[in-house]
Chains A and B, each alone.
Chain A
Amino acid sequence: MARRAVIDAALAGLVAAALAFPMLGFRLVDSATGLSLATRFDLVLWAAGLVALGRLGLGLLRASTIGISLSLPALPNIRRPVGWVLAVAALALPLMPFADRNLMDKATLVLIYIMLGWGLNIVVGLAGLLDLGFVAFYAVGAYAYALLSQNFGLSFWVCLPLAGILAAGFGVALGFPVLRLRGDYLAIVTLGFGEIIRVILQNWQDVTGGPAGISGIERPSFFGLSFKASAPEGQQTFAEFFGLDYSTDHRVIFLYFLILILALLTNLFTLRIRRLPVGRAWEALREDEIACRSLGINPTLVKLSAFALGAMFAGFAGSFFATRQGFISPESFTFIESAVILAIVVLGGMGSQIGIVLAALLLVGLPEWFRDLAQYRMLAFGGAMVLIMLWKPSGLLSAREPTIRLGERA
């Protein structure tokens, strides 16, 4: 056994050396005299050695009789309480002594992704439609708010539903022709659609500001109370009204609560709609489209509703993103964002609401702490995606409960 592991490791090391030889062994140097090569073969040896060692460790681990179990404990029945505990913890977070501005910013970011994940979960997790261009609706929401507020002076609270409706409209417009297609074609069309939206945002200079984006987007107010240092004549700021000393933290905390509420609304909506006929139809359609059709469910209509609702939540999240950043540009809406959101849904275990929270914390929250290692951050991110999939192919929390069953649970 051990002998086999050693041979296996040696082979893995050889392969790694061959892989690393061109890409790591040489470096393209661009100088005044043209392109030339520099060598650094020590890196190849390092790569080969590390891979061989890792492979040896893995091989010995597998060969050993001890066999450690690398699985999460099953927790079907405590999920509900866990959800409540998480919600309360999220509500209490800003009151904690360690909650500084930095932490709140990161928590807000994670919550945006949780909300996007929950929105996409309606499309991918419940209805089983593979959407690779979800970020397009997020972009529609963000630009809708930014443009409406800049051109027509509408406030955030008016724009929020408008952005949602607009995004849902885009969802319907895109979904209507393509939802008849089979899963993988749908994936590529949505991907194409995401790219089209980005290209248009980038090139339609007059309206969207092109690559420079839109800056100076209006911040939201708290029932008409702004979070600025001083209010215009006849109005009050948040700090004045409540007799507090002005602090920029107020807005950060307000934004945190805002996205928390939006996210929880998304969650509540999903949980409730799963019990309505349309929610049941989504899940039934995901499991067996032919059976659904023979039962008189119109697949296109049902899919379209999932698509539109998912897009609507992305639109909400998008306008929140715009108001939080105060600046948006096509840069923020690349394919990689769609991939991250999809990864959150799939890694979380499709259809699992808490799984999505876990995956968002893991994929968005964790890398935020390692911002200093920016270069290696995305490398580790991609690696983590692969490893989690290899480890748990159906997601972190994947025990999928049927939402309805005939008779009592045994």
Chain B
Amino acid sequence: MEYFLQQLINGLTLGAIYGLIAIGYTMVYGIIGMINFAHGEIYMLGAFISLIAYLAATTIGGGSVAVALMVALLATMLLTALWGWTVERVAYRPLRKAPRLAPLISAIGVSIVLQNFSQLAQGARVKPLPPVVRGGFTLMQSEDFAVNLSWLQIFIVMLTAVLMAVFTWVITRTSLGRAQRATEQDMKMASLLGINVDRIVSITFVMGAALAAVAGLMVTLYYGVIDFYIGFLAGIKAFTAAVLGGIGSLPGAMLGGLLIGLIEAFWSGYFSIEYKDVATFGILVMVLLFRPTGLLGRPEVEKI
């Protein structure tokens, strides 16, 4: 029971991080129908930028961890969003009307470029950061096992919840969100009605990148080690999460992320750590077989 609870907590934390990345995939897929392969790399850049920003903030600003974290969070969201915007502007926008595979190949190219750029700029070795936020409290204590809930885990889950709330509000209640939903439904019609579609797509990329940046910051704090290669696997898993939840659906992405996080935590806790990625993909295949639209996705009607 204690062990179960601990895995549940770990899984939820991990799932929150995957969910934040998955939102970027699901929004971009919903709006322009492409798999943004470079999104995992954007998250990786977010992790690096957050580490640099945090270190810079502590060096300049002195001791306060909370202030340094806030500065790092804002700086990371801003700068990573700019990367996301640039990628869309340079590598995807010219291919909006190209054959379906062209943007995908372009995205894979961008992903290779960003990975190698980070390796060249920051070195290939892993970057360790000593724990910044320590402590927490013990939920339950048996003879040989204590269930710990750290402040950091609370912080991660709370921040994710807040971001999700803000995000849902933007999408469902603001004119920007309405324009986004309109563009998602019918790009041509939306542009006929005076929506600047290019701008909406750009904003979508910026939003996705900002959320991925937050995920990057969280991973840096949570695991304490990052390297230039983390984007790939996290990217695939987040995409899996997006598909699992139903691609194009925002709550679906979050739900998918949480599920993937839980599956991964329980699988490594009870079965084997080596095969945790196999478990994730196995579940994905099962979901696609029995519910191809994902858990919360709408069935797609094919029109001739």
Contacts and interface: CB of A to CB of B under 8 A. Distances in A.
Contact of A196 (B52, B278, B289): B278
Interface in A1-60: 15, 18-19, 21-24, 26-28, 30, 34-37
Interface in A190-205: 191-193, 195-196, 199-200, 202-203
A246 interface: no
B272 to A, nearest CB: 8
Interface in A166-186: 177-178, 180-185
B277 A196 contact: yes
Contacts of A178: 285, 288-289
Nearest to A290: B304
Contacts of A177: 285, 289
Contacts of A386: 90-91, 106, 109-110, 113
B127 A27 contact: no
B285 A192 contact: yes
Interface residues of A, number: 60
A178 B300 CA distance: 17
Interface in B72-90: 75, 79, 82-83, 86, 90
B121 A18 contact: no
B31 interface: no
Contact of A385 (B51, B106, B120): B106
29 contacts: A18-B79, A19-B79, A22-B48, A26-B56, A28-B122, A30-B125, A30-B127, A34-B130, A37-B56, A37-B59, A184-B247, A185-B292, A187-B104, A188-B240, A192-B281, A192-B285, A195-B236, A339-B108, A379-B112, A379-B117, A379-B120, A382-B115, A386-B109, A389-B91, A389-B103, A389-B105, A390-B106, A393-B98, A394-B98
B82 A335 contact: no
B53 interface: yes
Interface string A302-342: 00000000000000000000000000000000011001001
Given A37-B59, A188-B284, A22 B106 contact: no
B232 interface: yes
Contacts of B55: 26, 28, 35-37
Contacts of A30: 125, 127-128
Contacts of B45: 23
A381 interface: yes
Nearest to B119: A375
Interface residues of B, number: 71
Contacts of A383: 109, 113
Given A185-B243, A342-B105, 10 more contacts: A28-B52, A30-B125, A30-B127, A177-B289, A188-B284, A290-B302, A375-B119, A382-B116, A386-B110, A386-B113
A356 interface: no
B99 A393 contact: yes
A19 B82 contact: yes
A18 B80 CA distance: 10
Contacts of A21: 79
Contacts of B91: 386, 389-390
Contacts of B101: 124, 130, 346, 350
Main secondary structure of the interface of B (DSSP, over half): helix
A389 B285 contact: no
A183 B49 CA distance: 35
Interface of A is mostly: helix
A259 interface: no
Interface string B235-276: 010011001000100000000000000000000000000110
B102 interface: yes
A357 interface: no
Contact of B35 (A187, A346, A375, A378): A187
Nearest to A18: B82
B86 A19 contact: yes
Contact of A192 (B75, B102, B240): B240
B183 interface: no
Contact of A394 (B102, B103, B292): B102
B94 interface: yes
B123 interface: yes
B129 interface: yes
B35 A184 contact: yes
Contacts of B114: 382
Contacts of A99: none
Contacts of A381: 112
B113 A195 contact: no
B202 interface: no
Contacts of B59: 37
Contacts of B82: 15, 18-19
A376 interface: yes
Contacts of B280: 192
Nearest to A387: B109
Contacts of B281: 189, 192-193, 195-196
Interface string A352-390: 000000000000000000000001101101111110011
Given A22-B49, A378-B112, A390 B288 contact: no
A23 to B, nearest CB: 5
A390 B94 contact: yes
B108 to A, nearest CB: 5
A389 B102 contact: yes
B187 interface: no
A84 B172 CA distance: 61
B109 A384 contact: yes
